[in-house]
A and B are shown apart, each in its own frame.
Chain A
Amino acid sequence: MRHYGPGHPVSEQAVRRLDADVRQALTGAPEVRWDASPVSLIVQDTLLPGDDAHVRALRDHLGARGIGRVRITAEAQTGAIAALVRLLSREPEELLAEGGAVDAVRAAGAAGITVEAPEPVPVAPAETDEYRSALTAYAALFAAVERGERPDVGRAQLLVERLDPPAGRDGALWEQVALRGHDELDPPHAVHTAFLAMRLAGALGMSPADRIETGVAALLHDIGMAVLPWEQRLAERTPGVRDPLPGHAVGGGRLLRHLGGRGSLPMLAAVEHHRVIGGGGAAAAPVSRIVALADYVEAMTCGRAAGLRPDTLGALMARLLGGGAPAFDPVHVRLLSRLLAASGWDGEGASPA
C-alpha cells in the first residue's frame, strides 16, 4: 500500500490476502490480536522471533505510530481491514495530525477493529542529592558488613541526621519514600524505614536526639541480612517470615551487640522487630515497636513491580487501623496513618517498575 497506493492491484491483492489470513485465524479464536512493544511483537499470545526482518519492521512500524495493540474480531469486514491497512501505511506525522492512530481508526469507522496506544510509562520524580547519598552510604555500610566488618554505627548516625530535616522541609524525602519500586532487600528499604520511624518518633513527641537514635536503629534493623547467604535473604523478606527470631534478626543482634543503655537500641530493634510483627510486641522495647511498624508498612507495600507488592498502602493502613493483624500499638498506627495522609501520599505511590 505504501509503495503502490490504494486502489492498485498489488495493494488490493495484499489486503485480500491479509483478510483471508484473518478470517482463517478467526475460525479458531474470538479475535486476532497483535501486541507490539519496542522489544517484542506478539501475535495471538505467541512471541515472534526478533531476528525476523518482517517482524522487526512491523514492530517498529506500529511503535512509530503509537500503536501498542490491534484487535480484529469477526465483525470486521474486508473494507474495515482495508481501512486499517490504509491508515497504517500513512506516515506517523499524518496520523498525529488526525489525533493519533487510535482516534484515526475510530474515525474511519472500521467496525470490529480496535487499536490501543502503548501503556504509559510512569515518570518518577528525580532523587535529591541527600536521598541518593543516603542510599549510597547505606549500601557501602552494608557491603562492609558483608566483608566481615562490624556495622559502623557512627556513620549510620551521620546518614540518619540527613534524613531528619525540619518539619515542613521534608517534602522531597516524602516524595521519594512514596515510590514503591524497590525490593525489601534494596537500600531504599532501610532508608525509608529510618525516615518513617523518625517521623513517627517525632509525632510521639520524642526529642531530636531520641528521634535520631530511633532512626539509627531503624536504618540498621535488617543489617543481619548481610551475613546471610543470598537464598536465605530472599526467604527472610517480611511477607515470608513466620519465625519471631529469623536468621537476620539473630545476625543483626550479634553484629550490633551492645549492653549499655541507649546504645542498645539498634541491637534491640534488630532482634525484636519480627517478634513485634509476629504478635509479641508487648515484651518488646518501644523502639522495636516503632521500627517494626515502619518496617512492616514499608516492606509490605514495596516491590520492583506492582504485581510483587503484597499490599497497597491504603488497604494496609485501613486494615491496621481496623485492628487487623499484626497488632501494632493503635496510637502508633493512627499517628503514622495521619503522617502518611498529610504527606500527600496518594495511597498507591508512583510505581516506576
Chain B
Amino acid sequence: MNSDPKGGAQARYEAARRAARSVASAFRTVRLYPLHHAATVEALEAARAAVDGYASAYGSLLVTAADHGLVFDAAGAPYEDDVVAELARALRARAIPALRFLRGLPASELGILLSALHLPRAQLERSGGLAALLASRGVRGIVIGDVAAPQAAGADLLEALVEAAGAGATDGIAACLRQTGGSEETIRDLLRRLDRRIVTRPRAEQAAAWRAVGRSLTSLRASWQAAVCAMVVRSVDEPWAASIAAQWPPVLAASLAAQAAPSGARAQGRRVADVLRIFKQTRPSVSLPAPEAPDPDALRRAAADAAWDGRRLREQAVRRLGELLPAMKAGELEPALADLEAAVVTMAQEGDGAGLLAALSTAARAAVPPGDVRGDLLRAMTRRVLSLGSRDLAVHVLAGAPGGDHLLVHAMRLAPEETVRLLRQTLGHPDAQLRGAAARHAAALRRLASRGGGELPDDAASALARIEEGSA
C-alpha cells in the first residue's frame, strides 16, 4: 500500500505553499502601500523569487481557490493560514477559480495582478474580467484559470461504487476498489464518501450495501483485498469501517483483527481486538428504570428555572461570545463585534447593567497576542461599551475587591480615558457606597500605575491624575 507521501511530494508541496504564501503576503502589502513603495517592491520581489523557485523545479504553479484556503496544483487538501486566507477570499469574492503562475514571471506583472485583485468585482467585470484586464496591461506570466474544483483521488470512482453497492454487485465493488490502485488513503476516502452518500437511505438498503462491500473484500482472492480488510479492521472506530466489519461474522472479524490490527490500535478508547471480540454482542440487558414522577414543587422549580427571559439569554450569549472571540480572525471578528455593539446599544437603552457588564468583560478580557490587529478592534469595542453604558455599568463594574485581575484593570489597559471618565462620574454619584467603591478602585489603579512594569499603559497615570482634578 502507498500510504505515506514520498519525500519529493512533500518538498514540492512545501515549495508551493511557500510561493503561495509569499504571493498572499505581497497581496496584503499592496493593500497597504502603493506599488512604488519600498515595502511593496520588497514583497513583490520576494513573491517573484518564491514563485520562480517553484516553477524552475516543478513547472508552472497552479493555485486554486477552495471553500477554505488554496489548493496547489489541483491536488491535496486546501492550505489556509491568516495570510493565505485573505488572498483566497479575494479570489472567491471575484469568482476567480484559479491562477497559474508561469516560469520567469516578473515582479511587475505580479504587482499588476495583485493590484487588480483589490478592485471591486463590478469594476473588474466592467473591464471585461480579470484576464482581459491583465492582457490589456501586458501581463504574460499569469494565466487566469477556469478549472473545476480539484477532485479528491478516487472521486471519479464514487458514482460507480455507489451504484454497485446499491445493487449488491460484489464484483463491481471489487472492481472499483481495485481501480484505486490499492492506495490505502484513496480507498479509505472512497469508502467514507460512499458512507456519506448512503447514510440517509433506508437502513435495510444501507445494510445491504455494506454487506456487499464486506463480501467483496472477504473472498481474499487478491493480496490487496487482504490489505483492505486489515485497514478496515484498524479503522473500526470510523462509522464506515464499523458498518463493513459489522457485516462480517464475529469470528471472521476476530480472525482478521488477529492478523491485521496492531495490539495498540484503539477504537472508542478500547483496544481494537477487544472491540471486535464483542463487536456484535448485545450487553446484558438492564431494564430501563421508571422512577416516580418528580414532586410537583420540584417540577415547578425546574420549569421556572428553564424559563429565562430574552434579556438573560442575551447576556449569556454575550458572555459565550467572549469565549469565541480569541478563535476568530480579524475578518470574522469585525462582524461579531458589530453584533455586540448592536446588543450593547439595546442594553444601554434598556438599562441592562448586567448585560453591559458581560459585554465589557467580553471585549476587555478577550486575550489576543500583542501586536495582533484584532487588539485594535477590541480596544475600540471596549471604549464603545464604556461610553454607551457608563450610566448603568458603574454599579456592576465596581463590585468586587480591587485587584490585578479586576475587570476595571483590563478596561483601563484598553480604554484609559473612558475608564477614568466612568470613575469620575461615579465619584460624583449620590450613593455614598458607590462613591466609596469608585474611590477604592481609583486608588488601586493609581497604585498599579505608579508601580510601572507595563501592567497599565503609559498614558494611564496621566488619565488617572484627572480623577484627582475631578474630585478636587
Listed in ascending order, the chain A residues whose CB lies under 8 Å from chain B are: 35, 37-40, 42, 45-47, 49-51, 68, 119, 124, 126-127, 132, 135-136, 139, 147-148, 179, 181, 183, 185-187, 201, 204-206, 230, 234, 237, 239-240, 245, 250, 253-254, 257-262, 264-265, 267-268, 271-272, 285-287, 290, 303-310, 312-315, 317-318, 321, 329-332, 334-335, 337-338, 340-342, 345-348, 351-353
Q: How far is B287's CA from A313's CA once the two chains are assembled, in angstroms?
A: 8
B320 and A50 contact, CB distance less than 8 A:
no
- On whether A37 and B252 interact (CB within 8 A), knowing A204-B299, A234-B237, A318-B289, the answer reads yes
Q: Which of B30-38, B101-109, B114-122, B309-317 binds A?
A: B309-317
- CB-CB under 8 A from A313, the residues of chain B are 288
Shortest Cβ-Cβ A-B pairs, 8 listed: A261-B310, A50-B219, A314-B286, A353-B246, A264-B317, A341-B290, A183-B239, A307-B279
- CB-CB under 8 A from A259, the residues of chain B are 314, 317-318, 321, 339-340, 342-343
Closest B residue to A56 by beta carbon equals B219
A290 and B199 contact, CB distance less than 8 A:
no
B246 and A139 contact, CB distance less than 8 A:
no
Q: How far is B236's CA from A254's CA once the two chains are assembled, in angstroms?
A: 31
In the complex, how many angstroms separate the beta carbon of A97 from the nearest chain B beta carbon? 27
A305 and B219 contact, CB distance less than 8 A:
no
B290 and A337 contact, CB distance less than 8 A:
yes
Contact of B218 among A35, A39, A265 (CB under 8 A): A39
Contact of B294 among A39, A286, A334 (CB under 8 A): A334
Closest B residue to A311 by beta carbon equals B283
Q: How far is B219's CA from A271's CA once the two chains are assembled, in angstroms?
A: 47
B192 on interface, CB distance cutoff 8 Å: yes
Chain B window 185-210, contacts with chain A (Cβ cutoff 8 Å), 1 for yes, 0 for no = 00000001000000110111001000
B279 and A49 contact, CB distance less than 8 A:
no
Q: Could you list some 28 contacts between A and B, CB below 8 A?
A: A37-B248, A37-B249, A39-B214, A39-B215, A39-B219, A39-B248, A40-B218, A42-B255, A47-B218, A127-B202, A187-B200, A234-B237, A237-B268, A239-B268, A257-B336, A258-B339, A259-B321, A259-B342, A268-B316, A271-B324, A272-B320, A308-B242, A315-B283, A330-B294, A331-B298, A337-B291, A351-B282, A352-B207
B419 on interface, CB distance cutoff 8 Å: no
A347 and B287 contact, CB distance less than 8 A:
yes
Residues of B233-253 whose CB lies within 8 A of A: 236-239, 242-243, 245-249, 251-252
Please indicate which of the listed interface residues A239, A303, A310 has the most CB atoms of chain B within 10 Å of its own CB. Answer: A303
Given A50-B218, A308-B236, A348-B282, list of 10 further CB < 8 A pairs? A45-B255, A49-B219, A51-B221, A181-B203, A253-B321, A257-B321, A268-B316, A335-B299, A341-B290, A352-B207
B433 on interface, CB distance cutoff 8 Å: no
In the complex, how many angstroms separate the beta carbon of B175 from the nearest chain A beta carbon? 16
Chain B window 279-303, contacts with chain A (Cβ cutoff 8 Å), 1 for yes, 0 for no = 1111101111111111000110111
- On whether A308 and B267 interact (CB within 8 A), knowing A179-B203, A345-B288, the answer reads yes
Q: How far is B267's CA from A239's CA once the two chains are assembled, in angstroms?
A: 11
B286 and A315 contact, CB distance less than 8 A:
yes
A245 and B323 contact, CB distance less than 8 A:
yes
- On whether A307 and B281 interact (CB within 8 A), knowing A254-B332, A315-B286, the answer reads yes
A304 and B218 contact, CB distance less than 8 A:
no
Please indicate which of the listed interface residues B236, B238, B332 has the most CB atoms of chain A within 10 Å of its own CB. Answer: B238
Contact of A267 among B239, B251, B291, B320 (CB under 8 A): B320
Closest B residue to A284 by beta carbon equals B316
In the complex, how many angstroms separate the beta carbon of A189 from the nearest chain B beta carbon? 11
- CB-CB under 8 A from B313, the residues of chain A are 261-262, 264-265, 268, 285
- CB-CB under 8 A from B469, the residues of chain A are none
